[in-house]
Amino acid sequence: MWFNACAAHDSKTLRTRKPRTYGHCPGLVQRFVRLAAGLVLYGVLAAGTAMAADRPMRIVALGDSLTAGFHLPASSAFPARLERALKGKGMEVEITNAGVSGDTALGGLSRLDWSVPEGTDAVILELGANDALRGVDPKLTRQALENIVRTLKDRGVEVLLAGMRAPPNMGADYRRAFDAIYPDLATTYGLVYYPFFLDGIAANSKLNLGDGIHPNAAGIDIIVGRILPKVQELIARVQARRS
């Protein structure tokens, strides 16, 4: 194809019996250069994609003391136990514990940039329990959580939102306003959603520490077992983006 194009271009030149050079067919040279550049770029992109696919998936668990593992060894905290469960299913993941005891939704927002570094594939967002315990206006909690979600979505980070519920002593009106935050955000932003982080262990003395609020090691294992299908859904979303 290249030679046919060049012959048509050089029909007058051939009559003079001058030797053919690439300079007599600039279109050929340009097309060759473009093709070579395209092949190089394709190779770079393919290599980058392969490297991204080969490396472990990076997940950050962004939360409060329930994530941090209050009064538990690091190996028994939620992120560590979840990583172990996923690896047991053959999934190559790295889960960073970005839980800070006492943190509110606004606190999580204020440290978002350094808690969720570049290269993070997904975030498990578990915040709001301290807001409810302190009676923070649900509008403020929602605004902070929404800002976190929007920032992560803008960065291309997939999000699993772990819901929380207000304690009964906060009153019916407060509970309705607070509890509605999580399903509303999940629907609005199309998030993977786990309705209640403490599902199955809340108010169970055998699965909580002496304070009746924080899960013990057995409670953490219950949480991991129940949230695992949603985390797998989160991972599937990341894999779909990579492919």
Instruction: Provide the pLDDT for residue 27.
Output: 55
Residue 71 is a catalytic residue: no
The pLDDT tens digits for 202-227 are 999 999 999 999 999 999 999 999 99
Check whether residue 40 and residue 124 sit in a common domain.
no
For residues 114-134, average pLDDT = 98
Strand partners, 122: 59, 158
Strands 122-126 and 192-194: unpaired
* Residue of 121, 179, 214, 221 with catalytic role: 214
CATH number for the domain that contains residue 133: 3.40.50.1110
- 18 and 128 co-located in one domain: no
pLDDT band at 53 (very low <50, low <70, confident <90, very high): low
Give how far Cα 201 sits from Cα of 91, 96, 209, 227, 242, Å: 26, 23, 11, 13, 35
39 and 68 housed in the same domain:
no
pLDDT of 242 reads 84
What are the pLDDT digits (tens) for 81-96?
A: 999 999 999 999 999 9
The strand order across the sheet containing 122-126 reads 93-99, 57-63, 122-126, 158-162, 192-194
98-109 pLDDT per residue, tens: 999 999 999 999
Query: Are 112 and 190 within one domain?
Result: yes
Q: What is the pLDDT of residue 165?
A: 98
Name the active-site residue from 64, 65, 115, 221. 65
| Average pLDDT score, the chain | 85
Catalytic site includes residue 211: yes
CA distance 139 to 107: 15
Query: Which residue in 107, 111, 18, 115 sits closest to 59, CA to CA?
Result: 115
The whole-angstrom distance between residue 87's C-alpha and the CA centroid of its chain comes to: 17
Domain boundary among 15, 32, 51: 51
79 and 168 both lie in a single domain: yes
Same domain as 64, residue 178: yes
Same domain (yes/no): 118, 144: yes
Nearest to 110 by CA among 163, 69, 151: 151
- Tell me the CA distances in angstroms from 69 to 15, 64, 171, one per residue in order: 86, 9, 28
> What total number of domains does the chain contain?
2
- Where are any strands of DSSP class E within the chain? 57-63, 93-99, 122-126, 158-162, 192-194
Q: Range of 46's domain? A: 2-51
Closest CA to 181 of 112, 232, 131: 131
Please tell me whether residues 164 and 233 are part of one structural domain.
yes
> Does residue 26 share a domain with residue 96?
no
- Catalytic hit among 54, 154, 173, 211: 211
DSSP state of 208: B
- Residue 88 has which token pair? 């047991």
